[in-house]
């Protein structure tokens, strides 16, 4: 009897070439499929709520997969953490409804981007923040972050996807978009229905342009209107954290 599983994972993305399996570079999907295949003694396909780029960290990514193996779920949890490297941890595993799908059923995601403002970036933070010690108009950035909330066309905030030959909609719903100062860090947190490739990193890069005085809040808002141009810049992946994924249940 096949059981479908749902698991929640945390990982330090520093050493991984992102989620999606690829030839010649270690990826998270491959590593999870490798370990699950050891348990199943047959190939296993793992779906995540979405892909993440190389260097992006996950605090609670959700995945789904099927197993025929009759291993008790608590043992599965333990053996996964025994077999996986320390920079990937399975926080929880449960048996899911047979039609549960980590990607198709995801309703919302929350990402955080961390910018270290102090002149020296502590060595313990170096993989988890963008170090930006130069002057920024932080108050203007905080105000500009609100521009991204709503049902908006993020065409200017998505990496070109060669697979997008059908011209999929670039409209996404952003439930909340907040920037604040916390000690030596600027924290940007965004919750939305879904995000395109590089979208959050491009949104943050444009907030930095506002902070540098290169762009006003109004000019930023105009990038979300036709002609959706020019294309936004993107900040490095290391400061990006997937905090959570929400489902209907």
Site of tokens 């995945």: 63
Residue 151 is among the residues annotated as catalytic for this protein = no
Give the rounded distance of the alpha carbon of 168 from its chain centre. 20
Q: What is the rounded distance in angstroms from the CA atom of residue 130 to the CA atom of residue 101?
A: 33
Segment interacting with a copy of itself (CB under 8 A) among 9-17, 40-48, 135-143, 212-220: 9-17
Q: Per-residue x/- mask for a copy of itself, residues 156 to 185, rule CB under 8 A?
A: ------------------------------
Q: 41 or 124, CB closer to a copy of itself? A: 124
Residues numbered 44 to 73 that lie near a copy of itself (CB under 8 A) are: 57
Q: Does 86 bind a copy of itself (CB under 8 A)?
A: yes
Please identify, using beta-carbon distances, which residue of 89 and 217 lies nearer to a copy of itself: 89
Q: Where are the beta strands (DSSP E) in the chain?
A: 3-11, 47-48, 57-67, 88-96, 108-116, 130-131, 150-153, 171-182, 185-192, 240-246
CB-based burial of residue 9 (10 Å sphere; 0-12 exposed, 13-18 middle, 19+ buried)? buried
- We find the least distance from the C-beta atom of residue 86 to a copy of itself, in angstroms, to be 5
For a copy of itself, the binding residue among 94, 104, 122, 151 (CB under 8 A) is 122
As annotated, the active-site residues are: 53
């Amino acid at each position: 009897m096949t059981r479908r599983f749902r698991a929640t994972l945390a990982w330090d993305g520093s050493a991984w070439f992102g989620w999606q399996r690829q030839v010649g570079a270690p990826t998270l999907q491959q590593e999870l499929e490798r370990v699950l295949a050891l348990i199943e003694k047959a190939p296993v396909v793992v779906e995540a709520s979405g892909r993440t780029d190389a260097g992006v960290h996950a605090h609670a990514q959700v995945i789904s997969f099927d197993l025929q193996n009759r291993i008790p779920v608590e043992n599965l949890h333990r053996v996964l953490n025994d077999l996986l490297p320390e920079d990937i941890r399975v926080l929880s595993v449960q048996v899911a409804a047979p039609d549960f799908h980590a990607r198709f059923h995801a309703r919302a995601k929350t990402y955080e981007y961390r910018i270290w403002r102090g002149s020296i970036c502590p060595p313990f933070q170096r993989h988890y923040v963008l170090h930006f010690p130069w002057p920024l108009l932080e108050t203007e950035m905080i105000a500009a972050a609100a521009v991204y909330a709503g049902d908006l066309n993020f065409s200017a905030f998505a990496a070109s996807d060669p697979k997008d030959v059908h011209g999929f909609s670039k409209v996404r719903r952003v439930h909340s978009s907040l920037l604040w100062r916390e000690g030596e860090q600027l924290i940007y947190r965004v919750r939305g229905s879904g995000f395109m490739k590089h979208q959050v990193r491009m949104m943050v890069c444009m907030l930095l342009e506002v902070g540098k005085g290169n762009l006003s809040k109004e000019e930023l808002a105009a990038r979300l209107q036709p002609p959706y141009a020019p294309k936004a810049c993107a900040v490095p992946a290391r400061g990006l954290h997937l905090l959570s994924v929400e489902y209907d249940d």
